[in-house]
Chains A and B, each alone.
Chain A
Amino acid sequence: MTCDDHQQMISEFLDGELATSSERDLFAHISGCTSCREFMRSSIRTREYLAREEAPRVPASLDARITRLAGERIAVRPRVRRRILDLLKERVSVPVPALLLSSIVLALSLAVGGFLFATRESGRGATAQYIMSLPEVEVRGILPENHNQVH
């Protein structure tokens, strides 16, 4: 491992992100390496100085803008409208097996329904064709009196 690798480990160690198992190797290397020791010292001192720094003051103009924002936004978002939007965004959780079962049942229903519908339609077509091909006399014999009105 190079010094760069060890210095990356130092960086992780300082952030509490280095695996405990690697710490022993790291400190064994540091004890004999001036460059890595210097990097560690510099990183620690940098952190100390940054920790002492005061946070910048939030400007009053930002507070004022946020106050205005809250007033404006609430005015344009009436409760009823928001509730409808909430309802549209409502999420429900469905167990995967139940979802699969429902999908299969739906698919089967569609397939069976479609098949039955197609069979019925083709049956009707065949019957109508047969009736139309019959001679006039025979048609009168089997069709109801108001057959002409129907057609």
Chain B
Amino acid sequence: MRAATDEMLLERLRKGERDAFRDLYERYKGRLYAYCFRLLRNEQDAEDAVHDTFVKLYTGVDSLIHAGAFRMWLYRIARNESFMILRRSRGRSQVDPDECWDDSTPLQTLVENDTADLVRRCLGMLKTEYRDVLLLREYENLSYAEIAEVSGATVDAVKARIFKARKALAERLRGLFGERERP
């Protein structure tokens, strides 16, 4: 039997079918939790962000006019919830556009032999706004236009931000993936 589409599940949810809500949760919980966890780097915060996202889905399903854009809408809510948690915990919301690294966690303090873990940790050390776009691109596989929709930025701003994030990562990983790298 063919799985119900998001549109069908949303329609059922609008009619008050709780199974449809559970199905949507099962469909998206893994992706949203992974995204929020990688962004927030904290299990409890990620759980809260995903929970609040689904609360918003339930209470705001009637205002979601274009069911086709549901996935982006969900990511946008999860992103907003995550940023709200970050703002509450850090008391900061702005980022210097030229500053990519969070100085509180310098790479020098890492004692890490495992390359995959090193890459992941370097990504985790990027400032939130840069980490956010790279997560949406690399893990969630969203296009630039979709990331722009989720983050409320222009496509050009997304392009520039992804490039800066990659550039910053490449700088920190220089030597590890250089020309003389041995597989």
A binding-site residues for B, Cβ under 8 Å: 4, 7-8, 11-12, 15, 17, 34, 37-39, 41-43, 45-47, 49-53, 55-56, 58-59, 61-63, 65-67, 69-71, 73-74, 77, 79, 82, 85-86, 89, 91
Closest 9 CB pairs of A and B: A42-B170, A42-B177, A11-B163, A55-B34, A49-B119, A45-B177, A8-B163, A58-B33, A70-B18
- When distances are taken between beta carbons in the complex, the residues of chain B under 8 Å from A38 are 170, 174, 177-179
Shortest Cβ gap from A16 to chain B (Å) = 8
- B contact residues, range: 35 or more
Q: Is B16 a contact of A41 with CB atoms below 8 Å?
A: no
Q: Is B120 a contact of A53 with CB atoms below 8 Å?
A: yes
Contact flag A39-B51 (CB < 8 Å), given A50-B139, A89-B62: no
- When distances are taken between beta carbons in the complex, the residues of chain B under 8 Å from A50 are 119-120, 123, 138-139
B binding-site residues for A, Cβ under 8 Å: 14, 16, 18, 21-22, 25, 29-31, 33-34, 37-38, 43, 46-47, 50-51, 54-55, 58-59, 62-63, 65, 115-116, 119-120, 123, 137-139, 143-144, 159-160, 162-163, 166-167, 169-170, 173-174, 176-179, 181
Nearest B residue to A37, CB-CB: B179
20 contacts between A and B (CB under 8 A): A8-B160, A11-B162, A17-B143, A17-B159, A41-B177, A43-B170, A46-B169, A46-B173, A47-B138, A50-B123, A50-B138, A53-B116, A55-B31, A56-B33, A66-B22, A67-B22, A73-B59, A74-B18, A82-B62, A89-B63
